[in-house]
Structure 1
Amino acid sequence: MDQLEFFDIPSPCIGVCQSGKSGYCTGCFRSRDERLYWNQATPYAKRIIIKACQRRKSIAQRKKNSDAAATTPKQTDLFD
């Protein structure tokens, strides 16, 4: 059931607007259709899109951190 919204839900756009390898925007993590139809979406749909974007962003950050950890050489101890 849709909840009554008193205020419009703002777009999660941060002005980067570039598609990454996965097809999602590298700034807000929305798909092309989510960006295209944002203004026509219901408040309920907008909340779902924002939650999906947050989930995509956390997955991308975890992947980035694990890739950086795998490629960064470990510093050896000077006194070993």
Structure 2
Amino acid sequence: MRLSLAVLAYRGRGEVDPDSFDDAADMLCGLSTLHGLAHLVLEDKAAHFFRGANSKNFIKNYLPKVIERLYPAMQATQDK
């Protein structure tokens, strides 16, 4: 549930609306993507995409960059 809330917070929503298709779809897509990524890493299949990567060094050296591409840092906007 914490990951689901993090995905929604990233999308600008602080609370889950149990009747919202958008909330449910965003949570499912976020969880599915990260779940699939975790399996690829654990099964050493991520090495196919990153030369010399294995599950141990992928987590340390590549995972933060991959997640940043999946969920880019939000740019702070200033009121003008």
Do both share a fold (TM > 0.5)? no
TM-score range, shorter chain: 0.3 to 0.5
Whichever structure has more helix as a proportion of its residues is 2
TM-score, with structure 1 as normaliser: 0.40
Q: Which has the higher contact order (CA 8 A, sep 6+)?
A: 1
Of structures 1 and 2, the larger Rg is shown by 1
